[in-house]
Structure 1
Amino acid sequence: MRVLAIGAHPDDIELQCGGTLALYAKQGDEVYAAVATNGDMGNYDVEPERLAAIREAEFREACAVMGAAPIWMGYPDERLVPTLEHRLAFVDVIRRVDPDLVITHGPNDYHPDHRYTGQLVWDALPLAGVASLKTAVPATSRQVTLYYMDNTGGVGFQPTEFVDITDTIEKKKEALGRHLSQVRIFRQLMDVDLLDLVETVGKFRGYQAGCRYAEGFVKVEAWYRGLSRRLLPEGGRASLFEYKAAEDGGGEP
């Protein structure tokens, strides 16, 4: 199976679905991570051109940790808008991968780059399979299932499906930790520890899902995109009670 995650900024994918991507890779699936903008506006104390190069290098390191092939789109940070030019660029990313499913931002996310990335993915998906729409990459032969990933901090997001990432939470944190420039600036400006954030949200979603750590998703229901089978990975199967028993000396879950 081929999986494509498309995020707005170089750390968004790691924050919201890094554990799931690492789990796909662990299971032997082909995983691709695309980032729309270059993150050049994210630090007040680093010039944008230099910061863009730093953020790209960090993103590629994080992808190597998750087991994902990186796709760097390179649009300016904070200025992504849903133009026809951008829509067709997203069509080409989808066509290049020809994925079984796509994961991206939902429509109620807090940042305009997030929301517009999600809209561009939503608008590009049906066009990716239109053979008469000629772009640099040939059309796909199917309509692709779309999932929205969680919002930062889980604010205003109600998952309809969960992935148990207990086995890959450390990979998720390791991948996010490669974004040193972003981790530093969040701590300096907002007193936010991003690694603690994913630990906390992962535990919260885990309580909802009945496992130790989880990531939440919403499957987008749309004409011609429904499936009779689950595409998200199953992950670990042990319950919180089984993990607690293992910790208390009752054996491995």
Structure 2
Amino acid sequence: MEKQPYRILLIEPNIEVAGAILKWLQDKAVVTHIVHSADAKAKAGLTAWDVVITDINSPEVNDLDITLIVKKSNPNTSVLIVTEHKKVDFIISAMQNHADGLLFKPLGEKEFVAKILKLAQDSRTRRFEGKKIILAIGAHPDDVEVGCAGALAKHRAEGDSLNILTLSPGEQGGSAATRKKESQKAAKLQDAHLFLGNFIDTEISHAFTTIQFIEKIVRQVQPTHVYTHSFHDNHQDHRNTYHATITACREVPNLYCYLSPSSTVDFKPNIFINIDDFIEIKLLVIEAFSSQCNTRPYLEPDLIRATARYWGRFCNYHLAEPMEVAKGHS
């Protein structure tokens, strides 16, 4: 799988210094350069960075402020302070604020680049150590949410990252534009990144084009765990999504198949995920698909809850989502 480039925030008002750093890192990372104090504070609070390089000392914000902002937002992000201050009290303050590194001007390219690459890798190691990257795949809007929104909410509560891939806009079930908006709303409620395909509803195949499309998302996301449809399903789109996923996710160590309203009696789950604390979130997420809720009995809240209650008989009578384990290593 392709390794995603490091994402670096450079806070450097000195254009000459910034130009040198941008040149040094141009083939090694995606660098966002910020000059102004207000922008620095706003961008530093985002969680997307592998490394934040800070060299700012204004009345509004300084390097120590930036370090605090970054570490409060995401303790795993590495912070490198570039400075001319070699005073002991400044160095101690930087350490107390949990800066990951200090480099003093003038900068040398070799030392600087080596430091940045190490800090970036350290950041990623911390971020993904013990965390899971989830990719939930469905043929149509609301398939993922009906099948595993409780499990996804549980993952999110544990700090895992969520990604949803919906292959078709679901135009056979209503307005494609409306269903797209509903999918986006549901993804936002789940704090998930949404990928929308444009395969024709009812005509999804498990041919190379579908496999290749899913593979592209897998390379981008690099999931540790995948949820998808079961083979034991009456809907051809669901079965073909299963087949394409199995091939496209051949290198992913954990793959689970969720229940859908069209699952057959041959659906035989062997794990049952306790969603006691997440059933209300699941119901809220499903409500986002308002164009479907009034016409699809399987989206009615009492049936969603009753289904979870039924499968809970295999989970010490908790509310549960059933899964077939296609493969599992963690």
Is the TM-score greater than 0.5?
Answer: yes
Supply the distance in 1 between the matched residues of 2:273 and 2:143 (Cα, whole angstroms): 17
Query: How many angstroms does 1:110 deviate by?
Result: 1.6
Supply the distance in 2 between the matched residues of 1:59 and 1:211 (Cα, whole angstroms): 31
Per-residue deviation, residues 81-126 of structure 1 (Å, max 9, x unmatched): 1221221111101111100011100111121111111111012123
TM-score using structure 2 length: 0.57
Contact 1:59–1:178 (8 Å) recurs in 2: yes
* Alignment partner, residue 91 of structure 1: 215
Which structure has more relative contact order (CA 8 Å, sep 6+)? It is 1
Partner residue of 1:108 out of 232, 239, 254: 232
Any idea what SS the aligned residue of 2:146 has? helix
Structure 2 portions without partners, runs of 5+: 1-131
Structure 1 portions without partners, runs of 5+: 44-50, 127-141, 230-253
* Alignment partner, residue 288 of structure 2: 178
Residue 53 in structure 1 maps to residue 184 in structure 2 = no
Query: How many angstroms does 1:160 deviate by?
Result: 0.5
Residue 205 in structure 1 maps to residue 315 in structure 2 = no
Within 5 Å, which residues of 2 pair with 1:140-159? 142-152=251-261, 155-156=264-265, 157-159=267-269
* Alignment partner, residue 150 of structure 2: 19
Contact 2:162–2:192 (8 Å) recurs in 1: yes
CA RMSD of aligned residues (A): 1.6
Per-residue deviation, residues 199-228 of structure 1 (Å, max 9, x unmatched): 11101111221143110111114xxxx52x
Any idea what SS the aligned residue of 1:74 has? coil
Supply the distance in 1 between the matched residues of 2:325 and 2:207 (Cα, whole angstroms): 25
Query: How many angstroms does 1:40 deviate by?
Result: 0.6
Residue 195 in structure 1 maps to residue 314 in structure 2 = no
* Alignment partner, residue 322 of structure 2: 216
Question: Cα distance 1:219–1:185, how it changes in 2: closer, same or farther (>3 A)?
Answer: same
Supply the distance in 1 between the matched residues of 2:299 and 2:183 (Cα, whole angstroms): 18
* Alignment partner, residue 130 of structure 1: none
Question: Cα distance 1:66–1:143, how it changes in 2: closer, same or farther (>3 A)?
Answer: closer
Supply the distance in 2 between the matched residues of 1:197 and 1:11 (Cα, whole angstroms): 15
Match for 1:37: what amino acid?
A: S
* Alignment partner, residue 164 of structure 1: 274
| Greater radius of gyration (CA) | 2
Query: How many angstroms does 1:195 deviate by?
Result: 2.1
Any idea what SS the aligned residue of 1:3 has? strand
Contact 1:9–1:36 (8 Å) recurs in 2: yes
Per-residue deviation, residues 174-220 of structure 1 (Å, max 9, x unmatched): 00011011112225xxxx55322211110111122114311011111
Query: How many angstroms does 1:153 deviate by?
Result: 6.9
Identity of counterpart residues, as a percentage? 28
Supply the distance in 1 between the matched residues of 2:313 and 2:262 (Cα, whole angstroms): 15
Residue 40 in structure 1 maps to residue 208 in structure 2 = no
Supply the distance in 2 between the matched residues of 1:219 and 1:70 (Cα, whole angstroms): 24
Query: How many angstroms does 1:16 deviate by?
Result: 0.8
Supply the distance in 2 between the matched residues of 1:79 and 1:37 (Cα, whole angstroms): 9
Number of residues of Structure 1 aligned to a counterpart in Structure 2? 198
* Alignment partner, residue 5 of structure 1: 136
Match for 1:119: what amino acid?
A: H
Per-residue deviation, residues 122-150 of structure 1 (Å, max 9, x unmatched): 12123xxxxxxxxxxxxxxx543211111
Query: How many angstroms does 1:60 deviate by?
Result: 1.1
Any idea what SS the aligned residue of 1:31 has? strand
Match for 1:74: what amino acid?
A: N
Match for 2:314: what amino acid?
A: Q
